[in-house]
Each structure stands twice: as structure tokens, then as C-alpha cells.
């Protein structure tokens, strides 16, 4: 299988060589994945349910280790790293989940600030930054509201802000538009596009929404039965 490479230049953010993943003895979930994502590239990942999209993303944000093969993030071989070094590497990765994973007893501000609080930072150090980020995702009027009082689209934007608060080099989004309508999905993807263009963040978005993909001019990876292929000519993109 040919190697998938996204983005110009030789500076690679993500590199997978012959990566396989096997959860049990029933067979491989992912088979011989060869992938390069250039620093600053913007990509979609698609495929039918059960194709292995979430499994691939979990490998990239270091929730799982491959059964075999080699994964390099920012030129570092993850299998050779000690646990504390892996934890440090994870700080360069932001993750947005479909199910939001917000804490209902915390306000939007507190949910976004949580990664910084966990590190021991004081509110006076990050308050302005958190508020600016919530303003950027269009939630300046929702700073003190808790998730149960927010719409699905607003909760997703809080989750995006939380993923961005530590200024990640790599942003991974697993079906980030799955719980919102099409128009809100477009707004959410546009936030990712702006992030990519303004800050050079490498972005990978998993989605099954082919209509949404058509709205944006970006490379698309396609998973099917654990195998990866690049779809270089997907319909009429604008």
C-alpha cells in the first residue's frame, strides 16, 4: 500500500510506519498503516462505522500503543519513551471528543481552565487567556454558564476551547460535529480551519459527514476494514 503524505515540506508532525492494532485475538483493527502528516497540515479522516477511525485517533493521542509498527510524534519515537516523557508529549496534543466530556458542575470558564488548574496554575495567571479563548469560539456571553444550560453546539465549542487552552501543536477531533446540526457543524469546522491558518496547528478531524467534507478544501484519509487510503479527488470542493 502506498504511503499517505499530507502537506508540503519535510517537517513531519505525525509519522506511522507499518502500524497495526489488535485489541484481542479476533483480528486486527488497523493493518499496516503508513502515514505522514506534515506540520501545519489540515486533514479529514473518514470511513464507515467500525472502520477503525477512533482507534487510529487513540494511537495518535497516545491512549493506546500499537500492536506493532512505529509511531513518531514531532520526530520522537513514542514506543521508546518513558511514561513521564509520554505525559510531556501529550501536552502538545489537543483532543476534541464527540461527547464533549465536560464537567456539569463547572462553568464554561472552569471547564476550559481545568487543564491549567490541574497543573497548579493560579486563576490570576490564566483568567484573561481563558476569557479570550471563549470569546474566540463565540461564547463571551456564556462564560459563567454550566454545560446543562448550554446547547449542544455551545458545549462543543467549550470542549474545543478546552482542547486549545494549552496551545497544542496537534489537534485531533473525533466526530466533533456528530451531536450538532449541519450549520453548527460548519461553524465548528471553520474554527478548526482558522486555528490551522493562524497558528499553523496540525489538524486531523474524523467525520462520517461527507457533505460537510465537501465544504472544505482539504486532503481526506479514508479507512475501510482497518486499511488506510488517500482520497485525492473527492467531489467538487470549494
Q: Which residues of 168-199 are buried (b: 16+ CB within 10 A; e: fewer)?
A: bbbbbbbbbbbebeeebbeebbebbbebbeee
Confidence (pTM): 0.89
Q: What percent of the chain has pLDDT over 90?
A: 68
When pLDDT is cut at 50, 70 and 90, the band that residue 2 belongs to is low
SS3 110: helix
pLDDT tens column, 71-115: 999 999 998 889 889 988 999 999 999 889 999 999 999 999 999
> What is the rounded average pLDDT of the residues 29-43?
93
pLDDT tens column, 111-144: 999 999 998 999 999 999 999 999 999 999 999 9
Burial class (CB in 10 A: 0-12, 13-18, 19+), 205: buried
pLDDT at 69: 94
Least confident of 21-30, 33-42, 102-111, 162-171: 21-30
Least confident of 16-20, 36-40, 144-148, 177-181: 177-181
When pLDDT is cut at 50, 70 and 90, the band that residue 236 belongs to is very low
SS3 130: helix
SS3 87: helix
Specify the pairing of strand 30-38 against strand 68-73: unpaired
Backbone angles phi, psi at 162, to 5 degrees: -60, -40
When pLDDT is cut at 50, 70 and 90, the band that residue 50 belongs to is confident
Q: Which three cell numbers stand for residue 124?
A: 490570576
pLDDT at 10 over 90: no
Distance, first Cα to last Cα, the chain: 29
Tell me the sheet residues that pair with 30.
Answer: 21
For the chain, counts of helices (H) and of strands (E)? 7, 11
* Mean pLDDT over each residue of the chain, to the nearest integer: 89
Q: Kindly list the domain boundaries of the chain, sorted by start residue.
A: 101-167
More confident residue, 136 or 210: 136
pLDDT at 4 over 80: no
Alpha carbons 186 and 181: distance in angstroms, whole number: 9
CA atoms lying within 13 Å on the CB side of residue 156 = 23
Amino acid at each position: 500500500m502506498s504511503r499517505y503524505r499530507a502537506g508540503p515540506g519535510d517537517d513531519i508532525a505525525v509519522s506511522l510506519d507499518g502500524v497495526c492494532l489488535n485489541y484481542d485475538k479476533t483480528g486486527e483493527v488497523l493493518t499496516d498503516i503508513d502515514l505522514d502528516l506534515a506540520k501545519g497540515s489540515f486533514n479529514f479522516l473518514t470511513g464507515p462505522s467500525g472502520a477503525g477511525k477512533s482507534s487510529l485517533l487513540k494511537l495518535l493521542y497516545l491512549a493506546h500503543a500499537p500492536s506493532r509498527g512505529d509511531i513518531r510524534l514531532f520526530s520522537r519515537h513514542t514506543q521508546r519513551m518513558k511514561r513521564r516523557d509520554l505525559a510531556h508529549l501529550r501536552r502538545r496534543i489537543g483532543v476534541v471528543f464527540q461527547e464533549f466530556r465536560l464537567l456539569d458542575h463547572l462553568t464554561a470558564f472552569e471547564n476550559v481552565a481545568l487543564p491549567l488548574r490541574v497543573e497548579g496554575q493560579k486563576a490570576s495567571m490564566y483568567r484573561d487567556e481563558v476569557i479570550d479563548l471563549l470569546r474566540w469560539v463565540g461564547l463571551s456571553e456564556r462564560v459563567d454558564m454550566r454545560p446543562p444550560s448550554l446547547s449542544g453546539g455551545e458545549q462543543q465549542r467549550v470542549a474545543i476551547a478546552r482542547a486549545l487552552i494549552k496551545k497544542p501543536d496537534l489537534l485531533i477531533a473525533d466526530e466533533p460535529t456528530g451531536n450538532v446540526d449541519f450549520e453548527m457543524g460548519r461553524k465548528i469546522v471553520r474554527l478548526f480551519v482558522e486555528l490551522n491558518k493562524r497558528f499553523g496547528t496540525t489538524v486531523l478531524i474524523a467525520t462520517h459527514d461527507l457533505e460537510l467534507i465537501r465544504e472544505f478544501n482539504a486532503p481526506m484519509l479514508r479507512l475501510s476494514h482497518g486499511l488506510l487510503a488517500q482520497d485525492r479527488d473527492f467531489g467538487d470542493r470549494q
